[in-house]
Amino acid sequence: MRIILLGAPGAGKGTQAATLNEELNAPHIATGDLFRAALSQGTPLGLEAKSYMDRGELVPDNVTVRMLLERISQPDAADGYILDGFPRSLAQAEALDDALKSRNENIDKVLLVDVSEDELVRRLSGRWICRTCQKPFHVINNPPKKDGLCDVCDPEDGELYQRDDDKPETVRNRLGVYQDQTAPLIDYYTAQGILTSINGEQEIESVRADLLAALE
């Protein structure tokens, strides 16, 4: 299945994708993770993305679309994938649809994880991420078993860190960018008849159950 997890920054897309990928046996492809990996390797793509990410702006569509199309062409994505953080603009959604159509493929389902703005701010300000596997934790809602260490990657690895763009000023900008540029995708996919909205403001396990039910 080809699935899109749609939702504002902090809605819980990465948290859910980290377990849905095992259940569905499909890779979790997060464009934010791909940009951060490129940045930590110091590639030209990473350096180009950095100035946009630091400000909470979208990386230009042509750069992002090229990176994503290359990623979904890899063998592990041949039978499906879970997209997280892509598409984030109408131009990206249309480019994805065009590319899929040329291969006789389509997106099967778009799952909107719906969370209020106050809760998004609370979640992002308490988010800690594993440097090794990118799994998100939360100081209060979803704490790691050991302080500062990822439950999955400890003991070899798994230092947790806070993203620079989770600072309050950048968070406000990212939520504005979501409303202006990404929220119009809700109508776009509703018109295609493939969007289901899930209440993201429940316990992590309940959100997971609703997502799985929507996929049945």
Burial of 7 (0-12, 13-18, 19+ CB in 10 A): buried
**Active-site residue, from 2, 127, 135, 208:** 127
Contacts with ligand ADP, 155-194, as mask; x by CB under 6 A: ----------------------------------------
Q: Is 103 a catalytic residue?
A: no
Q: Transcribe 175-190 into DSSP letters.
A: HHHIIIIITHHHHHHH
- Least CB distance from residue 107 to ligand AMP, whole Å? 15
| Residue written as token pair 């289901």 | 196
Q: Is 127 a catalytic residue?
A: yes
**Which of the residues 17 through 46 are near ligand AMP (CB under 6 A)?**
31-32, 35
What DSSP character marks residue 148?
T
7 or 56: CB nearest ligand ADP: 7
Q: Is 13 a catalytic residue?
A: yes
Point out the residue whose Cβ comes nearest to ligand AMP: 32
Grouping H, G, I as helix, E, B as strand and the rest as coil, residue 32 is helix
Find the helix or strand (DSSP H, E) in which 28 lies: strand 28-30
Question: What does the alpha-carbon distance between residue 64 and residue 171 come to, in Å, rounded to a whole number?
Answer: 20
Q: Transcribe 69-89 into DSSP letters.
A: HHHHTSGGGTT-EEEES---S
**Which of the residues 82 through 101 are near ligand AMP (CB under 6 A)?**
85-86, 88, 92
**Active-site residue, from 2, 36, 71, 88:** 88
Q: What is the largest CA-CA distance in the chain?
A: 48
Contacts with ligand ADP, 10-39, as mask; x by CB under 6 A: xxxxxx------------------------
**Contact partner, 174, from ligand AMP, ligand ADP, none, Cβ < 5-8 Å per class:** ligand AMP
Question: What does the alpha-carbon distance between residue 11 and residue 146 come to, in Å, rounded to a whole number?
Answer: 24
Binding site for ligand AMP (CB under 6 A): 9, 31-32, 35, 52-53, 56-59, 64, 85-86, 88, 92, 165, 174
